[in-house]
Amino acid sequence: MTKQSLKRSDLHRKFVEKDATAEFWHNSPSNTLPPPDMLSPYSRNKPLKTEDIENRKAHIIGAGIAGLAAAFYLIRDGHMPAENIFIFTSEDVEGGSLDGAGNVQEGYIVRGGREMNWNYDNLWDMFQDVPAVELPTGFSVLDEYRLLNDHDSNYSKARLLHKNGQIKDFSNFGLSKRHQWELISLLLKRKEELDDITVESYFSSSFLETNFWTFWRTMFAFQNWHSVLEMKLYMHRFLDAIDGLNDMSALVFPKYNQYETFVEPLTKMLKEQGVNFIRNQRICDLEIQDNTDAKTITGLITATGEVLAVDECDLVFALTGSMTEGTAYGDMDTVPELQRTQGYPGTNSDWVLWKNLAEKSTVFGNPNTFVGDTSRSMWESATLTCHHSPLVDKLISLSVNDPFSGKTATGGICTITDSNWLMSCTINRQPHFRNQPDDVLVVWVYALLMDKQGNKVHKTMPECTGKEILEELCHHLGLEDQFELIAENTKVRTALMPYITAEFMPRAKGDRPRIVPEGFTNLGLVGQFVETNNDVVFTMESSVRTARVAVYSLLNLSKVVPDISPTQYDVRNMLKGARALNNGKPFIGERLLHRLLDKTYYAHILPPLPEPEESKLESLEAEIKQLPAKLSVMYRSVSDQVHRLRDKIINKK
């Protein structure tokens, strides 16, 4: 490839991976494309075949959702014959982190679950074309998802618990004006200002004690020492969902576990189309031909040193890092034995490929940023297989519907705020597994703080057996005196994951590689540890996005991958978000907006005022009286910023 053609390829990759924050978009004769974050039926265009696509092959390293998505888009949009696609996995089952296994005799297990959002645009773009699990032929996974969630609303009546299982008030965020300003300031900051900054170093210590932070950290699994840049990206991505953060009403959940809902139907479709799956084969390195003008992958190097040849016109898609690599498992009587501790996890891990690539070139980023300290990226989950007991009765009382009805149960996690481990538990729709008996409940438990001793069991969670974790949960639910009966009717399987939140570690520009590394002609990197323009990590959506960008870029398809949904720019979301951050109360100036807009076409964009009609005028007058003082503070703040800017300009001169 010549320098000129490589430059064209780099320009095409910018065409594919849109960045809505890069510039002001407007209609003009030179702009033939829709806005960079628009997704609509207009985006369903099918690109033409790439020349000679029938004779090209694709080698995909990793059979998680990113690898499976790469195969999907190669076939649907890239027109590559399915039999020319080879997916390698070091495991003996597909799905990567999206697991779900077990039976009623041994106990079920899921390492984690999926809290989904309606604007996961790439995920739903794919699953609208994947055949349904249970509906008749012609229906899709998306059709099943909508049919379920459109008729069964999700919400929680017990988001926070304390004092032996009592429901704690979770009606508002508990944010002071200072805390609100800290959050707004974070939204306003440019991304490049937040390199290597942690949440706890950015926010005041009192912010970390608020309901908002409890909701946030337990829902998304953030720690105080994690990246505030990633928190900012999350706030933009989910701004439309902020008002449903406390009661979980912004979420949509699958009918079954993540493996049976997503992985099984997608894998089944790909296999039926002819995609080749190679299990128990770890790819440890890539053979790179480095020409003056471009770099090309020419071979895959296995754990035994064998080189699998790659033609220069073939494509390689590689997973960098793994959140669930090195998971240690335990059960009712066994403590999980962690093999991965501090430092590099070793040559027999799923991090070895990224490490070896990073040693060859800085374009591959720095895996040590994410993988070096497991004490800061680890948490543990436990899956409870429950026959009837007082525990089941207690959890039913915390659910919005009877879990045995198949409808929404707890609506998401119930967090125990006075737990030293910061423990949470949830019942998803039941049955959670298709082979689950009708009289059995599957309950998922997890905790964030791995270095604290329990309140009842004086051990850290990683030091505990499944039975001891169950005992700690029963203590917090006020069931301590019935524990033995509960234990007789419950099986516990645990999963201790040393890298589960490694993707949240503080990072700087260059720590993560771009999806198509600079100068490479046939390599795409996918998963949770690659750089996207504005998307977040720890979601299925981001994995699918990286795969889609990689496929379109390497095949030079005339089709774009839109940036994240533009809901953050919708004034309605801004207004209801401001109300939510103000603990559900009208923010300063909101009543004045109502006075201006209530009798106009735009009245509906404002959240309804809480007071009755007859007292609205009185409340407005009180608000207007406060405005001069508030505006004075704002004026001083803006004035200070203008003076600082002036001083900067003078100093530069």
Does residue 343 fall inside a structural domain? no
Of the three residues 462, 497, 532, the one that is the final residue of a domain is 497
Of the candidates 347, 377, 353, 423, the residue with the CA atom closest to the CA atom of residue 537? 377
Residues 490 and 391 in one domain: yes
Tell me, what DSSP letter sits at residue 177?
Answer: H
pLDDT for residue 15: 86
Q: Which residues are catalytic?
A: 115, 234
Of the three residues 497, 519, 545, the one that is the final residue of a domain is 497
Of the three residues 451, 469, 497, the one that is the final residue of a domain is 497
Provide the CATH number for the domain around residue 400. Answer: 3.30.9.80
SS (H, E, C) 226-242: CEHHHHHHHHHHCHHHH
CB 551 within 8 A of CB 46: no
Of the candidates 433, 455, 451, the residue with the CA atom closest to the CA atom of residue 442? 433
Does residue 451 fall inside a structural domain? yes
Of the candidates 107, 23, 26, 64, the residue with the CA atom closest to the CA atom of residue 384? 107
pLDDT for residue 30: 85
Of the candidates 97, 32, 31, the residue with the CA atom closest to the CA atom of residue 62? 97
Distance CA 501, CA 322 (A): 10
pLDDT for residue 155: 97
Q: Is 321 left (phi over 0), alpha (psi -120 to 50) or beta?
A: left
pLDDT for residue 618: 74
Does residue 189 fall inside a structural domain? no
Does residue 281 fall inside a structural domain? no
Does residue 90 fall inside a structural domain? no
pLDDT (tens digit per residue) in 258-300 = 999 999 999 999 999 999 999 999 999 999 999 878 999 999 9
Counting as low any pLDDT under 50, the low residues of the chain are: none
Of the candidates 392, 387, 409, the residue with the CA atom closest to the CA atom of residue 400? 409
Instruction: Supply the pTM of this predicted model.
Output: 0.94
Q: Parallel, antiparallel, or unpaired: how do β-strands 276-278 and 307-309 relate?
A: unpaired
Tell me, what DSSP letter sits at residue 284?
Answer: E
Does residue 480 fall inside a structural domain? yes
Distance CA 36, CA 18 (A): 5
Number of domains into which the chain is organized: 2
Q: Which two tokens stand for residue 91?
A: 């495991």
Does residue 415 fall inside a structural domain? yes
pLDDT for residue 550: 98
Question: DSSP string spanning 395-428?
Answer: HHHTSSS-GGGTS-SSSS-EEETT-TT-EEEE--
Residue 627's domain comprises 586-651
Does residue 23 fall inside a structural domain? no
